[in-house]
Every structure is written in C-alpha cells, then in structure tokens.
Amino acid sequence: MKTAEIAQRYLDYFEKNDHVIVPSASLVTDDPSLLFTVAGMVPFIPYLTGVVPAPYARAADVQKCIRTNDIEEVGKTARHGTFFQMLGNWSFGDYFKEGAISYAWELLTSSEADGGLGFDERDLWVTVYEDDDDAAALWRRIAGLPEERIQRFGKEDNYWSTGQPGPAGPCSEIYFDRGPAYGREGGPAVDDSRFTEIWNLVFMQYSINNVRSKTDFDVVGELPNKNIDTGMGLERVAFIKQGVDNMYETDQVRPVLDRAVDLSGRRYGASHEDDVRFRVIADHVRSSLMLLSDGVTPSNEGRGYILRRLMRRTIRAMRLLGVDVPTFPELFAASRDAMAPAYPELARDYDRLSSYAIAEEETFLRTLASGSTILDTAVADTKRSGGASLAGAEAFLLHDTYGFPIDLTVEIAEEAGLSVDRDAFDTLMQEQRSRAKADAKARKRAIADHSVYREFRALGETTFTGYTDFETETRVLGVLVDGVSVDRATAGQTAEVILADTSLYAESGGQIADKGIIVGAGFELDVLDVQKPVPGLVSHTVEVKAGEVAVGHAATTIVDAANRRAAAQAHSATHLVHAALRDTLGKTATQAGSLNRAGYLRFDFSWSQALSAETKTEIEEIANTAVRDNLEVTTRVLALDEARDLGAMALFGEKYGDTVRMVDIGGPWSRELCAGTHVRTSAEIGLISLVGEASVGAANRRVEALVGMDAFRSLAAERALVAELTSALKTPREQLPARIAELSSSLKAAEKKIAALEARALGEKIPDLVARATREGNVRAVVQNVAGAASADDVRAVALQVRERLGAEAAVVALASVVADRPVIIVATNDAARAQGLKAGALAKAAAGVLGGGGGGRDDLAQGGGTDAGAVDAALDAVTRALRNA
C-alpha cells in the first residue's frame, strides 16, 4: 500500500465520520518558541488550549513535521527521521475516549477492501496510563483485547502536557508486533524495536498548574470541554504495510536512496556504515526539499542553519561513499518525483527550489576544498612541532567557521598519522550548545503565556477597519501589564490594550505596524507597536501618556496619517518592483521576503548572481513607468483557489487561509495575495529609487529602495554632491567619472612610490640593527623599535634579513613598529635558537599581551599586535626578559 494511499484512506475514513479535513500547516510554525512544526498538534495548540475558539467540533489532517533533536540517530534506527508526516484526528469538546478508541480500532482492523488499513488484530498491543482504568476497560470492551496486551505505563510515557500550566491528560498508544525476528516477546514494555508505536491517542481531560517537570505537577481539576488529540506516524504505518524494514525503504524515500546507490556504485545492504549513509542521504534530501517548499532557505542561523546542516550532512555522506562531485541535481529530482503525488507544489515550484539546493552544494564543495587547505596546514604544523594530535580548538574552528564536518577532520588527520583531540572539541561543542540553549530559553521566557489572551479571543476576532478608516470608535476589551491581565493602566505605564475594533495596522506581510494614538475620555495612549499575538486578535502596546485606561472604556484609534500613507507607498512600490523583476529576469525571480516601512522597502528574491548596472536601471525604469502610468490599485476578497485561478501570486513561504485578499495594480500586471495597506493609484507612490543590491545567500539577492519623498530627498542630495564635485574639480558633470579615475590612479601611484621609499629607508637600517645586537641569555638578540614602517610585511622582511645576517649562532630578532596607528611586533628565530627551546610564537604572544592584543605563529616566525601603541617599548622589554630567563 503506497504512502499516499494510506494517508488518503485515513482522511476518507474520518471525513465519512463527520470530521472536517484540514490541510497541513506549514513546517514553519507561528509559535516563536519553536523553529518548526515538530508534531501534528502544533497547529491546533490555540484550539486545544482554548486561546482561540475551535472553528469545528472535529477535524482530521495529514501534518508535515520536522524534528532535528535526534539528527545523529537518523539512518541508524527504523524510525528516526527528520521529516515525517503525522496523521491526526481531533475532537474539541465533542467525542472523547470511547469515540477515539472506536475510530482508531475500526480504521486499523477493517479490511483494505472496506477502506481500512487491514491490520491483524492479533498483531496490535496498547498501552494506557497506569491509573486510567476507563481506557483499559474501553480497550477490552471495544477491541476485545486480552488483559496481557494492555500494558500500563507511568507519566514519563503515557501522560501528555505542553510543559506549561493548562490542559493535560493521559494517553493511550497502539503498537504493532513486527514478529520474533525483530526482538523479544512481552510487548512494548519489553522491546520497543519489535513492538513499534504507530498511533498515540491523547485524552485531554485535566487542567494542571505548578508544573515542576514533565512528571511533577498539580492536577487542579477536569476541563469543562475535553479534547482528543491523536497522532499516527504515516511513515511507520507505511514501512509496516509495505513489508520493509524501515521508513527509508518506503516508496516516498527509497527512490533517493536508490539514486545515491547508482551515483556511488556501491551496493545497499553490503556494509552497515554505507547503509547508514544511504539512509541519511535519503532522509535529508527529502527533508531539505520539504523545508525549501515551505520557504526556508540555507543560512547561518535559525531555520536556515538547520536546512544548511541537512544539506551538508548529505554532501558529506556522499563524499564518504566516494562521490565528491555535485549530486543534488540527481538526488533532489528523485525526491521530487517520489513526493509530488502527495505534494504537487514540489513539481510546480521545482526549478526555484532546486536552485537553492544546487547553489548550496556548489558553495559547500568549495568550502570543503578551502577547509581542506586550512586543515592540511594545521596537520603540517602539528607534525612539524612533533605533535601527535590535532588540537580540538583547530577542529572546532574548522567546524564552526567553515562548516567543516568533524568526522572529515578526523579522517584526514588519521590519514596523516594524527589523532584529533575529541575531548577538547566536544567540550567546545557542548559550550556552544549550552549557549544556544540558554539563548533559546531566554527567548522562550520573554514570550508571554498566550493563555492570557484566551478570554479576549473568545469574544471574537478583532475587526480591522484601517483599509478605509484612519479613525475608529471602539471599546477596551482588555488591559495587560507585564503579561498579566489587569483592569486598568495609569499614566507612565507601558501596557497592552485589546480592542474590539482598530484602524491601526498590525505588523504582518513585511509591513511594519502603524504609528498612532488611542484616546478616550480622560486618557491618551501613545501606540508603540501593534501585533497579532494569536490568530485573529490584535494587541496594541502603548505608553499611557495621560489619565488611565480601563476595561470597558470607550476609545478611538487614530492612525498617524502621514506615516501610513508613506508605508502604503512603500508596500505598493514593493509590488511594482516585484513585477519589474519578473518582467526583467523571468518568472523564477520570486519574492523570498520583504520589509516595508514609511519611505523604504527591502525586497529579497530568488536569484543567484549580481544584477548588472544596466539591469538595475531597467528594473527601476519599469517600476517608475508603472508609477507614471497612474495604474489603478484594486482589492478583492475571494476564495484562495479562485485567486490562484486568476493568476494571483501566493508568495513563497507565506501562509494563507481559505479566503484571501487579492491586490491588483494595473489589472493582472501585478496581482498578488496581500493583506497590507496600499495606495489608490500607482501615481501616489511618487518615485522609486533603487539604492542597493546585494547577496543574502547562495541563491538569494536583496534590493533596497527609497520611495516617495525619501527617494526625492536622496536624489536631491546626490545632485548637490555632484554639483560640489564639479565645482571642486572644475570638471563638467559628464566628465566626472574619468576625472575621478585619473585622480585615483595618480594617488595609488604616489602611495606605491611612498611605500617603496619607506621600505628602502627601513632596509637601510639593517646594518645598524645588526650592529646593535646584544647578548641576552644564551642568544644574540636584536630587540628594537623600527619606527616608520608602512606595513607589517615590511617589518617582517627586515626581521628576516637581520636574522640572516646574524649567522648560525643562536639568534632572536624582535622588531616592533606602529602601522596605521596600531602596534605590530615580528619575532624571528634561527635553528640554533629553536634548539634551545626559544619559539617565535611564544615570544610574540608574550609581547602582544603587553600591547593589549594577541599573537602567535610558527616556531621560526611569528607576529603579534594589539591596541596600545604607547606600549611598544614595554612589549619589547617583555621579549628581552623572556630571553634572559630562558
């Protein structure tokens, strides 16, 4: 049974049983404490917790999920995968335990001919919470399960909560017995490899508080509305129904594995190590493709870092399989073909999605080449100094800065006869993880408990009137101070104010929040921010400037009209720039992020190379021509499918409901789904001036533009600057580029001549420096301040020549100078000095410490520096003392 068929049977069954079929939410969750949708219940949390009233009594879905906390286990077990799909059925105050158990048992055990999944009842076991006698009795009555196939577990395994005060409850898990070949008899309590969990039924029936840990909390009572939250792992059911050993061999994953086999020329099943690599590749390519399809792009932070890590682990695995040429064009195409029947958008958007993957592979292959050069140098230095182990700090630098995998570092070091100090590396890695966890914990603490918004959201959605009105009369529904609901806020306090209606735009879709005020009888509030903390609810962060605002007060929201008009100009200009980009570069140049504020826009788009000056001018001209043509801007609210049929662009990575707002500028010339505010005609934008274009990733570019009066002021300033230059250089405007190039060339020639003269003057000091050699300890030493050096390279050249002239006798040269207002010191030692244990790196480091900086290098030649130019003589004294004490 194909994976897609299992999912469809699930949805058909629950639709037949009066469940609303809900499409999968994005892998990119709205929850700021999560990077990704990590479980099927994440999109339903607002309904399960009661913060947002559920729009249906019962629902079912197939939810895309990503988990990376067990990434190191991928490929090693039958069930660990980064991307997976969770089948779920949900009841919000409707059916409870009996209904959930009945539905699960009927779907699992009904014959395939009757639309079920056809499991043999004898292969199924269940677990229940240790005190849940009701669930155990229902399993006996509904499923006829004998007592020995109903096992009881404690809170660690069979109790669910969010980890926060709120809803919680026992759960019941269904397991499939894979047979004696996979482990011992005795059920899930004995062997969870043989007995594989396929479905978890959560009975959300209690309210808890004083949560001290996952298993330590206070149950304060039963919930007034009990919910059902279930999750069945689609990949787990698929590998059981398809008769294969693990999820990597199912129909949606195996094609990538097979393509990796073809590319490597190695056989799957011949080697455990290679098999793990094949499975890692199959999992990570699919996971990467699905992340790309939901708007994540490779980067060095957050979600983009996770995607980059998955891709680079794939490249590394292919390298270990003997393939060091690009493979993503083949591997990603195989994943597309396997997944597109379930997710058609993968085929539709594949050219754009694959461009990110291919660019990332090209970049990392170059990184591996450069990292190998750095590693080769580190290995050579270690061997030259007689070391047997590469420093953990070196390995960590390669990993952290260059993305160079530790196992590759170990492999190359071992080939050179060295080990790697893994203890030091692991310590540094753990310190980094601890910092990251602390940061994440701090971010999570900074987020208010969203349950505080429950009572306000239960009153209905906030009505936004700002598309047509700059002022709106409303009433205060709630006041929050420091995340706590209170009845009022007084002058001088900062608070959140919840209103029934508002004309103030809440930040979304790249457009920042409106500025404005909220006024009422005896109070005035300065609006600092406007956000949507939970879907459908608008919260105004305000400073109480006068009086006090209380729940129930009448209030009027007043938008800063000038700021709003300028923001609308920028947002409409963004649409024009997007259309101009696609007109110039082609349909693959699509938006990948934006920011709009009064007078300014920033626009990211998928493109892999810099735009020429001619292309930027063309884009700017097309956009401003649309401004000149005074195109009509219209908006319509319609069904998502209807908007798509009309050609409206659903922007990459954005989330949309069933009903959307479509913005047309000039009819279909620019047609996008957008909830932002806009001008009435394009001429109101005034002017668009592109002021910047740069890379923001391997396959992403960013343009920045000023809009309206900000664009005019910028151009006026440039005009004034040109006028000043023409006057100062006594050159007509059209000849300025040539004149400036001429002056620049002359200046470079003069600087080069001066540098040569300074170097010659410094070189002429060599005989005098040699003559000043003194005996310090057991060596001849030249420890001098050579003022006037143009560069550290000049000081290095002189130091080497002085060392050469001192002959074979043990000698150390330490020369210092101030270059560009910063002190530098060069230390050189000869063979005889090094034989006595005098190392240039250690001496340079000692001197640099006096200069307020750092230093180091090879034993024969090293450099140090710092920030304290007045400490040069003291730094040289430190070298002299070190020599005398050696």
Q: What length is written for the chain?
A: 886
CB 117 within 8 A of CB 259: no
Q: Which two tokens stand for residue 288?
A: 């990467």
Q: Which of 155, 165, 167 is nearest to 203 (CA)?
A: 167
Task: Give the side-chain half-sphere CA count within 13 A for 162.
Answer: 23
Contact between residue 796 and residue 764 where contact means Cβ atoms under 8 Å apart: no
Three-class secondary structure of residue 358 per DSSP:
helix
Q: Is 171 annotated as a binding residue?
A: no
DSSP string, 831-883: HHHHHTT--HHHHHHHHHHHTTS-EEE-SSEEEEE-S-GGGHHHHHHHHHHHH
Residue the block writes with tokens 């577990």? 153
171 φ/ψ angles, rounded to the nearest 5 degrees: -135, 165
Is 575 labelled as part of a ligand binding site? yes
Place of tokens 């149950």: 219
Kindly state the tokens that stand for 359.
């660019």
Q: 401 to each of 439, 591, 715, how far by Cα in Å? A: 20, 29, 40
CB atoms within 10 A of CB 632: 12
Q: Could you give the dihedral angle defined by the CA atoms of residues 395, 400, 402 and 403, in that order, rounded to the nearest 10 degrees?
A: 100
Q: How far apart are CA 636 and CA 630, in angstroms?
A: 19
Comparing C-alpha atoms, which of 34, 642, 40 is closest to residue 302? Answer: 34
Three-class secondary structure of residue 826 per DSSP: strand
Tell me, letter by letter, the H, E, C secondary structure of 742-802. HHHHHHHHHHHHHHHHHHHHHHCCHHHHHHCCEEECCEEEEEEECCCCCCHHHHHHHHHHH
Residue 162 DSSP SS3: coil
HSE, side-chain direction, 13 A CA sphere, residue 13: 26
- Residue 785: both structure tokens together: 């301040």
Report how far residue 845's alpha carbon sits from residue 848's, in angstroms, rounded to the nearest whole number. Answer: 5
- Distance CA(295)–CA(37), nearest Å, equals 13
| Cα 561 to Cα 552: distance, rounded to the nearest angstrom | 27
Between CA 881 and CA 876 the distance in angstroms is 9
Distance CA 41, CA 122 (A): 29
Tokens of 792: 């550290």
The annotation status of 80 as a binding-site residue, yes or no, is no
Let me know: does 286 contact 339? Beta carbons within 8 Å: yes
Task: Write out the two tokens for 93.
Answer: 């105050």
Nearest alpha carbon to residue 540 among 524, 517, 520, 523:
517
Residue 846 to residue 860: CA distance in whole angstroms: 15
For the chain, state the CA radius of gyration: 34
Rounded to whole angstroms, the Cα distance separating 252 from 282 reads 10
Q: What is the CB neighbour count within 10 angstroms for residue 303?
A: 20
HSE value, Cβ hemisphere, 13 Å, CA-based, for 342: 25
Element (H, E) at 133: helix 133-138
CB 784, CB 772: distance < 8 Å: yes
Residue 739 to residues 163, 613, 729, 732, 745, Cα–Cα distance (Å): 69, 20, 8, 10, 10
Q: State the DSSP code for 611.
A: P
Binding site feature residues for Zn(2+):
571, 575, 674, 678
Binding site feature residues:
571, 575, 674, 678
